[in-house]
Structures are given as structure tokens and as C-alpha cells.
Structure 1
Amino acid sequence: MQGTVYRSTGSWYQVKTLDGGFYQARMKGVFKMDEDITSTNPIAVGDIVEVVEEEKEAANAMITEIAPRRNYIVRSSPHKRSHKHIVAANLDQAVLVCTIKEPRTSRGFIDRFLVTAAAYHIPAVLVFNKKDLLKEKDREKFLEMADVYTDIGYPVLLISAAKGEGITEVQEMLKDKVTLMSGHSGVGKSSLINQLLPGMQLRTKEVSGWSGKGLHTTTFAEMFDLPDGGQIIDTPGLREFGIIDIPKTELSHYFLEMQPYITQCQFNNCLHINEPGCAVKAAVEEGEIDTDRYISYATILETIEEERY
């Protein structure tokens, strides 16, 4: 039987089969992965798998095969910085829930998320929550940020999950797609999901009673079916998105607004910091590339070595 992994605790997996049934499944032996990756989790939420029902327990199954992934998105493992932790697989898009205040989502965090999504060829969307808390200066700050990211090509929404404002736009954006939903703790991601999934609060409480040993609801991703079609994959509140396996010379390729200028640099391996004849730096000086985005680029570039090794 073919199914999709909806939840993972690292040793047990909840798999939904094509007929709509759910199984608690274990992995059979060690899988040879198609991707040449060093991952702390061989199976991720969103994976398409083959399962065989176990005779003793009708609700239990064994995962015998993992289908090749269309794509996946990773972060650095919380346990081994040099290893990847696959957050989710087979995605149509990735949504980052952000806030201008209470708490403020830093530009650095947003840009790291966007770089990671671009590196794995996953379209990204920014959803700014807590619209109801914004005063005039906060709204001006949002409009400035929205202009920067929409000019690059990223969709930006402003909503209030608490007030139910902008939920229709979010529903339209999610319809019939598999969407990763992430964000810092405190940005209201759970409130947004509760708006999208009636009864979600009850289901969230039930998670802790699920049979997987060592289940930590703040650690593992989980997929949910949307009422109007499509799925969302809820991820835990992330403190950071570690940039891994991206060589310094490739980082600028994942800042989408830098792409048109990269080939115009004097040197092929230009890092766009101190090199002469750098078209990217010239574009920053001329206002073609946002200064804060360039600062994010330079900051991430400095941290790549320690995150890779």
C-alpha cells in the first residue's frame, strides 16, 4: 500500500494510505537514500512510502520503501550541527509566519528561511500576523519590508489570526497545495492553524497521548488535511534556520535579487564583499538591492564555515 507520512517521532510514523486509513508504522531495516545527504531522520513528514500491514496489529504497519523525493527542506540538526534534519518533503510551497512586534521577527531569520527555501527550489511566502497590534510606525515598517520582498518576487500577506482578518486570502493561497508552515514561537502560527482547521485545538491536545514513545510536540513536524483541499505541515517554533551545505560562492545565488548581477562581476568566484569590480556591491550602492538584504547576505556568509564543519 502506498501512503504519505503525516507525523514522525523519529521511531514511529503515522502514515495515511490512499484509501484514507491511518497506520502507525515502523521502518524496516536501513534504507538506501537516493539523495547523497547526511540526515538525522531517514523518513520525513511528506514522504511517500510503501507500507505493509502487520498481521498481529491491524493498525500497525511496516514501511518497506520510500519513493524518490520531489524536493525537501532541511535545517541543521539540533543534535549534530554538521548533520541535516529534514523538516519536510514533497512541498509545493513554504510559508513563514512573521510578526513586526510581540515578538519581532528579525530580518536575518526571514532571510535565512528564504535562502533555505530557494536552495531547495521551494517557492516561499511571507505571512505577517498580528495586524491588529500594529500602530502607525509599525505599519510603516511593515510596508517598507513588504515592498522589499514583493519587489524580489515573494508574496507577502498581512493578517490577524486573532481577529480572523486575512484568513480568506491565506486559504486561497494554500488551496490544493502541500505547504510547510513555520515561524518563531509566539508569532501566532498555532492561532492561524486553528483558524484554518476547525477543531485543531482538540486535536493538538490529543497529540500527547499518541503511542509513539518519546513524543515531543515541540520537536516534530505534522501534516494536516485542509477542508478545501491541500495539506499544511506544521513545524515546531524554530529559533534559527542553520544554513548548511551551501558553499560561500553559491550563497548569492539564493538571494534572488542578486542573480542578475552575479555574472557581471569581474571575478567568477566573487563573494561580493571586498572584491574589485563587484556588480552586486555596485547595485547595493545604486539602490537596486536593498541594503538590509545585503547586510543579511554578509552576515550569513560569515557564519557558513562554522555551520558546515
Structure 2
Amino acid sequence: MTGTIVKSTGSWYVVRETGTGQLHRCRLRGKFKQKGLKVSNPLAVGDQVAFTVEEQAEGAGVIHHIEPRRNYIIRRSVHKSEHAHIVAANLDQALLVVTLASPATSFGFIDRFLVTAEAYHIPVVLVFNKTDLYDDDLADYQSQVQTMYQRVGYPGLRCSAHTGEGVAEIDALLDGKVSLLSGHSGVGKSTLINALVPDLDLKTAEISQYSDKGVHTTTFAEMLEVRPGTYLIDTPGIKELGLVDMKPGELAGYFPEMRALLGQCRYHNCQHLHEPGCAVRAAVDAGKLALPRYDSYVSMLQGEDNRK
């Protein structure tokens, strides 16, 4: 039989059978190795698999084949520094939930996520949550940040899971698609999902007053059915997002505004740092390329730790 992994606990997987929608608790037969990829989780939510139901365990099964992935979001493994962790696979889009207050999401984190998604051609929408906490100055700043990202091809919208602002717009974005909902711990993903799918009643937690960091409320990645044909993948909050398997020479190509300038620099191997005749640097100096985005590029290129 074939199906889609809708939940992963690391050792067991819940598979939704193709056609019937029946759920099966499955384990993995042997070890799966992805060519050229060292990962801590061989299977991820969203993977298409083939499995066999065991007669002695009603409803349980064994996964023995994985279909090639169309795309995936990947990050460095928290526990194994040399390994990567696949967040989710076979996505139509990703919604990155960000906050400008309690806790604030850094440009470094946003841009690392966008670069990772760009590498696998996954469209991203930025969801600016907790707008009910904004004063006039923060609301104006949010508008500037949203405009900066929209100019380079990443749409954004304002949202408050508590007041309902933007919830209908997000629901419309999800329709008929498999969408990943991701973000830092504490950005309000679970509260937002409860607003989108009230019947789920996901557990939420308050922000730590001491650290202003979120408390993990989602333990395992899970694909939730919003309605027939519309699915939302909820994942544990990401505290760090290290880039995986990305060569320095490729990095500028994953920034759309830099990609448009490639080939215009004096030197073909320009890294857009201090080289003379650099079209990217000229665009920054002229105010045509946003400085926060360029700073993120430099930080990633130099391997600085702005993952949080």
C-alpha cells in the first residue's frame, strides 16, 4: 500500500493510506540512506511511502520504500552537529510566522529560512503575528519590514491569532495545498492553528518572562487536515536554523535581488564583499538593495552564528 507520513515521533510514523485516508502506525524496515545526505531523521512528515500492514498487529505496518522527494525544508540537527534534520517534505508552500515583539524574530533567522526555501523552490509567505501587541511605532516598523520583503518576492500579511486579524486571509492561502507552518518557539504557531482549525485545540504556553523565549508546545511534526484536500504541517519551534550543504559561491543566487545582478560584477567569481566593480555592493550603496538583507548574506557567507 502507499500513503503519506502525517506524523513522525522519530521511531514510529503515522501513515495516511492513499485513497481510504485510513491511518496506520508504522515502523521503518532497516536503515534508509538518502544519497549524499547525512540526516538524523530518514523519513519526514510529507514523505510518500510504500508500506505493508502486518497481520499480527492490526492496523500497524512496516515502511519499506520512500518515493523521491519533490522538495523539503532542512536545517542542521540540534543533537548531531554533522547531520541535518528534514523539517518536512513535498510542500506546496511554507508560511513563516515571525514576531517583532515577545519574542522578536531576527533578520538573520528569517533570511536563513528564505534561503533554504529558495534552494528547493518552495514559495514562502511571511506571517507577522501578534499585531495586537504593536504600538504605533512598531506597527510602522512592521509595515517597513513587510514592504522590504515584498519587494524581493516574499508576500507578507499582518495577523493576530487573538483578535482574528488576518486569519481568514491565511485560511484562503492554505486552500487546496500542503503548507508548512514554521517559526521560532513562542511566535504563536499553536494559537494560530487553533484559530484556523478550532476543533484541534492544540496546547499553547506562555512566553517565559525570564528569557522572552517561547516554550515548546509542539513535540513532533504533524500534518493536520484543515479540510479535505487542505493540509497544514505543524512543526516544533525552531531555535536555530543552520544552513546545510550550501557552497559559498551559490549563496548569492538564493537571494532573488542579488540573483538579478549576477553577471554584472567586474569579476565572475565576485563574492560581493570588498571587490572593486561589484554590482551588488553598488546596489546597496545606492539604496536599491536593503542593507539588512545584505548583512544577512555577509553573515551567512562568513559563517557567523546568526542562526537564532
* Structure 2 length-normalised TM: 0.91
1:114-125 equivalences under 5 Å are 114-125=114-125
| 1:167-178 matched pairs, under 5 angstroms | 167-178=167-178
Greater CA drift, 148-157 or 221-230: 221-230
Would the aligned equivalents of 1:15 and 1:25 in 2 still touch at CA under 8 Å? Answer: yes
Deviations 1:206-243 (A, max 9, x none): xxxxxxxxxx9645311101126311111111112101
Deviations, residues 149-204 of structure 1 (Å, cap 9, x unaligned): 000011101011011111110001111111111111111111100011122226x5
Tell me the CA shift for residue 15 of structure 1. 0.4
Percent identity, aligned pairs only?
Answer: 51
The answer to whether structure 1 residue 42 and structure 2 residue 42 are counterparts is yes
Aligned residue number for residue 209 of structure 1:
none
The reply on whether 1:300 has 2:300 as its aligned counterpart is yes
Matches within 5 A, 1:252-271: 252-271=252-271
The alignment status of 1:69 with 2:82, answered yes or no, reads: no
CA distance in 2, matches of 1:101, 1:217: 19
| Residue 156 of structure 1: aligned partner | 156
Counterpart Cα distance in 2 of 1:60 and 1:25: 5
> Where do 1:246-285 residues align within 5 Å?
246-285=246-285
Residue type at the aligned position of 2:25 = Q
In structure 2, what residue type is equivalent to 1:142? Q
Structure 1 distance, partners of 2:63, 2:284, is 51
Query: Is the CA contact (8 Å cut-off) linking 1:248 and 1:301 kept in structure 2?
Result: yes
Matched, 1:26 2:45: no
What are the within-5 Å matches in structure 2 for residues 1-309 of structure 1?
1-18=1-18, 19-33=20-34, 35-201=35-201, 218-227=218-227, 229-303=229-303
Instruction: Tell me, yes or no, if the aligned pair for 2:95 and 2:126 is still in contact at 8 Å.
Output: yes
Q: Distance in 2 between matches of 1:22 and 1:229?
A: 16
Q: Name which of structure 1's ranges 169-178 and 296-305 shifts more when overlaid on structure 2.
A: 296-305
The amino acid across from 2:30 in the alignment is G
Consecutive unaligned residues in structure 1, runs of 5 or more: 206-215
Equivalent residues of 2:283, 2:289 under 8 A apart? yes
Helix, strand or coil at the partner of 1:199: helix
Would the aligned equivalents of 2:73 and 2:88 in 1 still touch at CA under 8 Å?
yes
| Equivalent position amino acid for 2:103 in 1 | P
Contact 2:190 2:217 in 1 (8 A): no
Amino acid in the other structure paired with 1:120: Y
Shift of 1:113: 0.8
CA offsets 1:47-95 (integer angstroms, 9 cap, x no match) = 0011111111112001111111111110001112221111111001111
CA distance in 2, matches of 1:221, 1:118: 22
In the TM superposition, residue 132 of structure 1 has moved relative to its aligned partner by: 1.1
Aligned residue for 2:74, secondary structure, equals strand
Residue 140 of structure 1: CA displacement?
0.9
Work out the number of aligned pairs and report it. Answer: 295
CA contact (8 A) 1:243 1:304 kept: no
Post-superposition shift, 1:39?
1.0
Going from structure 1 to structure 2, the CA distance change for 1:178 and 1:304 (only over 3 Å counts) comes to farther
Structure with the bigger percentage of helix: 1
Give distance in 2, aligned partners of 1:217 and 1:53: 32
CA distance in 2, matches of 1:32, 1:260: 36
Residue ranges of structure 2 left out of the alignment (5+ in a row)? 205-215
* Distance 1:14-1:66 versus aligned 2 partners, 3 A rule: same
The alpha carbon displacement at 1:266 in A equals 1.5
Q: What CA distance in whole angstroms lies between the structure 2 residues aligned with 1:37 and 1:49?
A: 18
CA contact (8 A) 2:99 2:130 kept: yes
Cα distance change on mapping 1:223 and 1:271 into 2, 3 Å? same
Please give the secondary structure, in 1, of the residue aligned with 2:287. Answer: coil
Contact 1:52 1:63 in 2 (8 A): yes
Mapped partners of 2:28, 2:145: distance in 1:
44
